Amino acid sequence: MNQQNQLAMDKIDSSQILNLFDFEKLAVGKMTTMAYEYVASGAADEFTVRWNRQALDAIKLNPTVLTDVSQIDTSTSLLGLDLPYPILIAPTAYHKIMHPEGEHATARGAGSAKAVYVVSSFTTTPLEEIAKVATQPLWFQIYVRDDRDFTKALIQQAEALGFRALCITVDTPVAGVRNRQDKALFGLPDGVNTPHMYGGLAEKKPFTWKDIDWIKSFTKMPVLLKGILNSDDAEKAVAAGMDGIIVSNHGGRNLDTVPATIEALPRISEKVNKRIPILMDGGIRRGTDVLKAIALGANAVLVGKPICFGLACGGAEGVTKVLEILKNELELAMALTGRATIASIDPSVIWK
């Protein structure tokens, strides 16, 4: 497909895309069945995938009235970065199965939306090419492989390219049961590969807190642990000198029947007690979801699947549109609950 035809396909019909759920509906017709099933599916019976949404939906808001919300300020600071709003792009793999431009388009879309993009180590575009087109900060997500020298070299490569933080996925010692993905016969098409990761994850060497200490010993990037659900693990992360944690159940893609991340968040927030930043992913689809996560202790949230659907629907423009919709909805949610700043969002915004 030539570039002109691709750009024509990428035009977003604003009358048809009003929220993030609309992106997924449109993406069904834009993506191959295999690609859609890869993005949309979860582990086993997909209880956790559903619970991520259901738990957010079940939380009721407690608005206050007659406060000055004439100027809504969604800006915040995170690990030395000044962000215009507390929404980041979560690391997701294989963007070229969603759109021919892959992570190039994702990075450009993030730039237009002024959002941090956390690049997956299973990117289908080399890191140096992503860094060339990025106009906003990049973070890097990594799986620690049995080959520790390979892992160290990759982290150092990302650091040399100017990536601003390292997210270590810690919830995947083995891959989960992914029946729906397997039924779709998932596999990378000819010509699509992962330049920084060899093969799938089939690691045999134990990956423990000692390896986290080892990584901290050689990188200057802030280090976050992605995949924390247990508050005791959160305490260990603080004790190990982590710069942040990401409360995540891997989008429900690894261990089915673990709780929704929004359910795990309050006990983790209580244990961490603001000593390090907490981020959360899993099920975020509305601005009210972002508000709820911040009220329950998150400093910011990450969105993954909606970004993939936006990419499939409109390339860079689709990615930007996903983030703009969420930001606009967050502003409305803040105004309607009487919260003019991110700092003013606290547990009192939740109906008890």
Residues making up the binding site: 38, 91-93, 120, 141, 143, 169, 178, 226, 248, 250, 253, 281-285
User: Two tokens at 217?
Assistant: 């010993």
Residue 75 is classified by DSSP as -
**Of 188, 140, 142, nearest to 34 (Cα)?**
188
- Between CA 136 and CA 231 the distance in angstroms is 32
Asked if residues 95 and 144 have their Cβ atoms less than 8 Å apart, the reply is no
Measure Cα distances from 160 to 9, 61, 116, 166 in Å.
36, 44, 18, 12
Residue of 217, 234, 235 whose CA lies nearest to 226 = 234
As annotated, the binding site for FMN includes 91-93, 120, 141, 169, 226, 248, 281-285
- Residue position matching structure tokens 């109906």: 351
Q: Which residues contact 20 (CB under 8 A, 6 or more apart)?
A: 285, 286, 303, 306, 309, 322, 325, 326
User: Residue ranges for the binding site for glyoxylate?
Assistant: 38, 143, 178, 250, 253
Question: Is beta strand 166-169 parallel, antiparallel or unpaired with respect to 300-303?
Answer: unpaired
Strands 81-83 and 76-78, sheet pairing:
antiparallel
- State the Cα–Cα distance between residues 129 and 195, nearest whole angstrom: 11
In this structure, the number of other CB atoms found within 10 A of the CB of residue 351 comes to 9
DSSP class of 336: H
* Candidates 95, 99, 104, 250; catalytic one: 250
Catalytic site includes residue 196: no
Mind telling me the catalytic residues?
A: 250
